[in-house]
Amino acid sequence: MSAQKSDQDDRYSRQELFGPIGAEGQARLLASRVVIAGCGATGSAVAGLLARAGVGTIRILDRDYVETSNLQRQALFDEADAAESLPKALAAARKIARFNSQIVVEPKVADLTPVNAAELLADAHLILDATDNFETRYLINDYAVKHGVPWIYAAAVGAYGVTMNILPGETACLSCLFPAAPQGTVETCDTAGILNSVVSLVASIEATEALKILVGARDAVRRTLISFDLWKNDHSEISAARPRSDCSTCQRREYPHLAGEGRPHITLCGRNSVQIHEQQRPVSFAEMSQRLAPHGRVKHNEFVLKFWREEYEMTLFTDGRAIIKGTTDTAVARSLYARFIGN
């Protein structure tokens, strides 16, 4: 027996002792491919859990970079990552490689959109939601239902957490329970704060349900939407066992989010910031730094460029996408981008 095989056997030995997984289930996990959409609080926690559990291939999608304010709850990052403004997907992949080099982690520094969904979600056995907006969740739901891929919805804010498993063709999909996105003011981590404990709970439930799906224990998969408020000690469950008969997505097979209908070119990030989408517009950070230097403070590494101008902070990615901090006015953000980066 090789040393590598012995190490692998020992690494997952306690998990294999758990009867519902066993050696056969562990082999299934090692052969599984999971996509985690978002690598903030929930995403980093669930990525760490599944990586330690031996899920063979984990593709991490995230559009953002590490900041000091993330460190209170985002488990895979440290102060050095924040100081370098490392993209979260890349920082997570590096950290995972330090505790499990036997699995494959594919970091994708990108915003999941209708244009790239087929590429970024391809070949997944399971998709895990760790995003911060319903726009992307409906996109995942469209893709998953259309292609018959199971996915898990999860969210956390304040002391509140919620999660639901979607098994296309068996259970309700996201549109069955939420035909339209919540309207009006929606709480975010930046307005309501968040407890790291609720993140851990949501991620633990999502990761456990993921293991059930990946090892083939479909009968054990929870078929409810479960929510809880850890501070108030409240919890509730709503049945999601069956699709709604008139659901536009899983019954009428309509996929407007996948088609990009009504998707804005500029979207709010929820933290006094505006994100400007670009479709693969390559940027040379060296050239851009020289151009921006007379207008404000600039620094960059190979992954992101940061530019400070008066009360605004712009973070530019290599594909031309930008996050402009200091405003929620899309017109102001568009003007700054056009002025300093170009149309």
One-letter amino acid for residue 136 of the chain: T
Measured CA to CA, the distance from residue 153 to residue 143 in angstroms comes to 14
- The set of catalytic residues is 189
Chain centroid, CA 125 distance in Å: 16
Task: Please state whether beta strands 304-309 and 312-317 pair in parallel, antiparallel, or not at all (unpaired).
Answer: antiparallel
Sheet holding 57-62, edge to edge: 104-109, 57-62, 33-37, 126-129, 151-157, 160-166, 224-229, 234-239
Q: In sequence order, which residues have a C-beta less than 8 Å from that of residue 77 and are 6 or more positions away?
A: 44, 66, 70, 71, 86, 88, 91, 92, 95
- Report yes or no: 249 and 168 within 8 Å, Cβ to Cβ: no
Tokens for 168, please give them: 């296309």
